[in-house]
Amino acid sequence: MIIPKSKSKLVTIIIHILIWGVFGMIYFFQPLTWNIAVPYQLWIKNSIILALLVIAFYFNSSVLVPKFLLKNRTSIYFLIVIGVAATIVLLNSYADGLLNLHQLLDEAFHKSGPPPKHHNRNHDWDIFIISTTALVLGISTSITAIQKWQNDKQMHQQMEQDRISSELSFLKAQINPHFFFNTLNNIYALTLVNADTSRKAIHQLSRMMRYVLYDTQNSTTQLSQEIAFIKDYISLMQLRLTDAVKIDFASPASLKDVQVAPMIFLPFVENAFKHGVSAIQPSYINISIEQKDNSLELKVNNTINKEQNNNLEESSGIGLNNTRRRLDLLYPGKYTLLINENTTDNIYSVHLTLDLS
């Protein structure tokens, strides 16, 4: 899932506000718990240190991490980070001396009571500065690395989506001419037999072309439209068949309209007419579309015409192969396709199940 840039920016801003809110409370709320009259010089020093931490945070995230750490210049990165931390510690000590802060704090604490035995506030404060500096730099590095990983992941996902979209457009462009080429061949053969019937076929074909050219431009279409298209196709194919070929088509009685990939069923139906119709022997084609909760099933059973190539899988043309690829791209892990060629009984069956949840 790709997070919108505006939402990602908002999350980043909130995270940064929370980070500096916490460190602000550490530096400006903690002295209030000492139960002393805090000298104003401490607030000046803490403001300076907090400003230095802010500078170190964004210098690390915008310069050091992308230019050194993420480019495998790890040794140089850690040397510079250690230098930045040491600079902050030294400036902290310099500010203490410049503001005479140690003496002012000692006087304030003496007024509130004697300090605990073996207690060195200056040493504790230095450790505190080192710890917070390391924590700030660590958080800066972690956030920048995670953001870089997320950006790379989003870019990869976007590129993958673009690639899939381009491949699907290419596959669909192959299916449409393939379908029309076969249909026009059928109509051409029909014109030699019955001109009136061929005119009816051309009218049906024009209606089907309108659906393909205008109604399937989106990535999905309504199931009812797809079923209507299949019905038109079957009707068109029946115009050239004799009574020796039995066609049976069944669709859901109470249809619940859902979105499906356009022309996803056509290659299987077309394949049945291409290889299941015999001009000299009785043959049949049974097609059914069933809807069960969030699943959609297509079942196609037809006789095998021995006049065609023996291996239907190899002779089915680009339509069936492209449909397999479209299914992989559009319904990854959400479809099952079972194809069985029973040469003993001369039966070819297809069972496609789509999970639309």
Distance CA 120, CA 118 (A): 7
| Cβ proximity of 96 and 45 under 8 Å | yes
Structural Rg of the chain based on CA atoms: 37
Is pLDDT above 50 for 104? yes
> Are residues 122 and 217 located together in one domain of the fold?
no
Q: What is residue 350's predicted lDDT score, i.e. its pLDDT?
A: 93
**Would you call 288 helix, strand, or coil by DSSP?**
strand
> Whose structure tokens read 């005119």?
199
Q: Which residue has the higher pLDDT, 178 or 186?
A: 186
Flag whether 313 is in a domain. Answer: yes
pLDDT tens figures, 242-298: 788 899 999 988 888 899 988 888 889 888 888 878 767 788 999 999 998 889 999
Q: Let me know: does 213 contact 179? Beta carbons within 8 Å.
A: no
Choose among 30, 48, 47: nearest CA to 38: 30
CA dist., res. 149 & res. 14, Å (int): 19
d(CA 192, CA 20): 84
Closest CA to 215 of 262, 170, 159: 262
Q: Answer yes or no: is pLDDT of 340 > 70.
A: yes
96: exposed, middle or buried (Cβ count in 10 Å: 0-12, 13-18, 19+) = buried
Instruction: Assess whether 219 and 347 both reside in one domain.
Output: yes
Q: Are residues 200 and 347 in the same domain?
A: yes
How far is the C-alpha of 333 from the C-alpha of 355, rounded, in Å? 9
Give the pLDDT confidence score for residue 167 in this predicted structure.
63
CB 303 within 8 A of CB 272: no
Is the predicted pLDDT of residue 238 greater than 60, yes or no? yes
Say if residue 202 is in the same domain as residue 82. Answer: no
Q: For residues 325 and 167, give the distance between their C-alpha atoms in angstroms, rounded to a whole number.
A: 9
Q: What is the pLDDT of residues 27-84, one digit of tens each?
A: 887 776 676 767 778 788 888 888 999 999 999 999 999 999 988 899 999 999 999 9
Residues 154 and 271 in one domain: no
Residues 126, 251, single domain; the answer is no
In the predicted model, is pLDDT for residue 224 greater than 80?
Answer: yes
Residue 164 lies in a domain: no
- Residue 121 belongs to what domain range? 5-158
Greatest CA span in the chain, whole angstroms? 116
Residue 332 lies in a domain: yes
Same domain, 12 and 128: yes
**Token pair recorded at residue 301:** 């059973």
- pLDDT classification of 173: cutoffs 50, 70, 90: low
Tell whether 222 and 347 lie within a shared domain.
yes
Number of structural domains in the chain: 2
- Among 136, 158, 180, the domain-final residue is 158
Distance CA 312, CA 76 (A): 64
Residue 267 in tokens: 């290659």
